[in-house]
Structure 1
Amino acid sequence: MFSALTKLSLVSRIMIAIILGGLVAYFFPNVAPYVSFLGDLFIKALKSVAPILVFVLVMASIANFRVGEGARDLKPILGLYAIGMLLAALSAVIASIVFPSTLFLSINPEMQLQPPGSVSEVLRNLFLSFITNPVTALHEANFIGILAWAAGLGVALRHGSDTTKKVITDLSDAVSSIIRIVISLAPLGIFGLVIATFAEAGLDTLENYAHLIVVLVATMLFVALVINPLLVALVMRKNPYPLVFKCLKESGITAFFTRSSAANIPINLDLAKRLGVSETTASVSIPLGATINMAGAAVTITVLTLAAVNTLHIDVDLITMLVLSVVAVITACGASGVAGGSLLLIPIACGLFGISSDIAMQVVAIGMVISVLQDSTETALNSSTDVLFTAAVDLSRK
């Protein structure tokens, strides 16, 4: 049985863990104290690897970033990537305001939450976090400081030797391997979390999860079927939906099941070729988009962060939400290539509101529970948008 389970996909194992956890919590509620530690271990593991993952991954990505001679031709495509992600994040903000979500979080009564009182305080905390000592930032899981130091070192190391860049890349790959191991153990952690949550909060938790999934998926569909077509129509000056539906059908569906933008690159390159897109442009913009064009990740980070904010009864004004949208876009560009990679960047956005790493990692764990649909839909949006925007810009020139 164990051998058969290991051969199943991560999604299948997570679904089994959720079902088994719910059944155990319903029929054997007294078991909860004995297996809930599995969820605690999983959250602890996420908390331990996330800071170093963000630091190394962002630093390596910037240090090894190369656009090539066709950078001028890529500018409109990169512009669409940036605008698309920002509009996706803003759509998530609006969806979270109209359909607010709440989470079931385990909060220590002695923990003193210090939410920001105004947007000026948010910006003040943001800038102060930027200049934190890097060792202190890693130790305290200050993700804003980690992101700032990773970006700064990445820019500086762009002028380093090829050997140095190779070492950084190998280190990034090594840390990514560790996080893959942690995520592969997600079914055990989710099993413990589901039992503990259902035993304490009852089946009302299912309603919260269902509401959260609906908000996430509906927002991503809105981006795919409304926001993206509007941007493409502005570029091509004609009906965008034939191209939009073709990209969703041939790229989005495949990405939905593979759950990997990187694995979907060959599919997108082949589709771009059949659409008549310049091979020179597509060979750069599509792999680049698989790395930095993460509209779905921006939606996920924004919705889950605002769900945590709503749960903790933190008052947020409109300007602060706009700041959150920008932060979500920037962090989404650094989303890890592993399944659920965008979830590990949620603590960066939570840091804007003074939410501790302990609580932020609980939000990440909840994201893992709903990742059966969230991650697949997110990847479908991300990957199909890569080829959609590339084709829109290149075909409009012709």
Structure 2
Amino acid sequence: MEKKKMGLVPKLIIAIILGVLVGQMKFLPEFLLRLPVTFSSIFSSLLAFIIPLMIIGYVIIGIADLTEGAGKLLGVTTFLAYGSTLLAGTIAYFVASTFFPSFIRPELVEKITESGSGLSSLFSIPLSPLLDVTGAIVFAFMFGIGISYLKGKGQGGVMYSFFKDFSEIITKLLHTLIIPGLPIYIFGNFMNLSYSGAVFSVLSIFWKVFLVVVILHLSYVSLMFFAAGSFSGKNPLMLMKNQVTGYVTAIGTQSSAATIPVNLECAKKNGVSKQIREFVVPLGATIHLAGSIITITSCVTAVLLMYGMPHGFGLMAGFISMLGVAMVAAPGAPGGAIMSALPFLTIVGIDPTGTMGQLLVTLYLTQDSFGTAANVSGDNAIAVIVDEIYHKYIVKRAPEVEAAETASVSS
């Protein structure tokens, strides 16, 4: 019998608990306590080196794929997916900025920012990125648009294949080195926070942010299905009932891509035609990340509040808009969305490799499975809308077929 592996979230929870406990063991030799801090420092340098490469590998292919073949169906689906992602992020920001200050109080912020000094690493490795983040973004957009233009002329296949292979190398690196190393990285971070005395103030905020984010996920998915039901004339409660299997599966897999087969069956139960569900559901798993952006926007707002930094909507709007594009190429693995978002944290003033970045990654990953479940559920709400648009305005559906499919989800 194959031994079942422990998921990433349980590993992170164990890492947080052990980090807090070990950080309180100040009777241990300081040399031993500085070992995990040293690992976190090296890991942080490696992450800083990889971030520009992630931008180049993912954003180029994301732009090239999204702009290829501007058919009506692709255009409608992309518009709905990106619009939904932006709306979800905007709602999350206003909810977070309204409710989080009620429990991220000034005295807690003061405890976090003025806690004692932490442990230093035993040594560091000078590892400078090949490009800075801004240079990587400009390069990625130039080449992404350029490759898309060449593909439209029947050229650019070699360049596209090169960057496609490059993105797969980065994905492999994330899956085999970065994501498996996250629990040790988080352990070192929380051990240092515990040693400095800030950890309990941080944890008192964590669980409240978690609760608000999960409620936001469920509320937004419900809103999407009610909108889909109103537009298509189908019963939204039945649409949501049919989606339960996909939602639960996504919580278990933490991967939109791995949930596609189950999500296709959910779309079938919701009366979405075969050609539409087989197009929209896989595409939505890549470009529709409403749940992920709710989590990231909420966590970013929480971290900015925790450190008393600016968090106005003017600042966050640009970040949310960029995030909607950046996460398109998020790897189909736990933590993929936050890994793709790390390069753009500098927009809001967060160093992705510093303490704030570490806290943000930890906050996000503890809620990643719920964000993924919201993503895939939203994909099926979009599929219902696209199916209705396609058969009502693009290709007329036979009346008897429409009546049969509507009846299956309206009772």
**More deviation in 228-237 or 28-37?**
28-37
Counterparts of 2:55 and 2:228, CA distance in 1 = 32
Letter in 1 for 2:57: V
Query: Quick one: distance in 1 between partners of 2:328 and 2:113?
Result: 27
Residue in 2 aligned with 1:92? 92
Residue deviations 1:135-166, cap 9 Å, x none? x9953333xx4334312211211324433322
Alignment of 1:14-93 (within 5 A): 14-28=12-26, 30=28, 32-65=33-66, 71-93=71-93
Backbone CA RMSD of aligned residues? 3.1
Distance verdict in 2 for CA 1:348–1:44, change over 3 Å:
closer
For 1:11 and 1:238, locate their aligned partners in 2 and report how far apart those are by CA, in whole Å.
36
**Separation of aligned partners in 1, 2:156 and 2:74:** 26
Q: In the alignment, what sits opposite 1:280?
A: 275
Q: Tell me how far 1:299 sits from its aligned partner.
A: 1.5
Distance 1:338 1:308, change over 3 A: same
Q: Residue 315 of structure 2 contacts residue 348 of structure 2 at CA under 8 Å; is this kept in 1? A: no
Structure 2 counterpart SS, 1:336: coil
Q: Tell me by how many angstroms 1:358 deviates.
A: 4.1
> Are the equivalent residues in 1 in contact too, given 2:251–2:373 (CA < 8 A)?
yes
Larger radius of gyration: 2
2:131 to 120, 132, 139: 139
Alignment partner of 1:208 out of 193, 205, 209: 205
Q: Is the 8 A contact 1:304 1:346 kept in 2?
A: no
Cα gap change, 1:370 to 1:286, in 2 (>3 Å): same
Are the counterparts in 2 of residues 36 and 192 from structure 1 also a CA contact under 8 Å?
Answer: yes
Q: Indicate the residue corresponding to 2:238 in structure 1.
A: 242
Asked whether the equivalents of residues 38 and 189 of structure 1 are also in contact (C-alpha less than 8 Å), the reply is: yes
Q: In the alignment, is the contact (CA less than 8 A) between 2:47 and 2:353 conserved in 1? A: no
Identical amino acids, percent of aligned pairs: 25
Separation in 2 of the partners of 1:229 and 1:68? 28
Tell me how far apart the structure 2 counterparts of residues 8 and 384 of structure 1 sit (CA, whole Å). 25
Checking the alignment, whether the CA contact within 8 Å between 1:301 and 1:349 is kept in structure 2 is no
Q: Deviations over 1:223-273 (max 9, x none)?
A: 1223x13432442245422202321x1211101110111111111222223
CA distance in 1, matches of 2:66, 2:193: 43
Q: Which residue of 2 aligns with 1:195?
A: 191
Distance 2:307 2:9 in 1: 30
* 164-173 or 333-342, which deviates more: 333-342
CA contact (8 A) 2:13 2:366 kept: no
Structure 1 partner of 2:258: 263
2:89 and 2:320 in contact (8 A); partners too? yes
- Structure 1 length normalisation: TM-score? 0.80
Q: Secondary structure at the match of 1:261?
A: coil
Name the structure 2 match of 1:165.
160
Structure 2 residue aligned with 1:379: 372
Gap runs ≥5 in structure 2: 118-127, 393-401, 403-411
Distance 1:278-1:329 versus aligned 2 partners, 3 A rule: same
Paired AA for residue 220 in structure 1? H
TM-score of the superposition, structure 2-length normalised? Answer: 0.77
Q: In structure 2, what is the equivalent of residue 314 of structure 1?
A: 309
Aligned length: 362
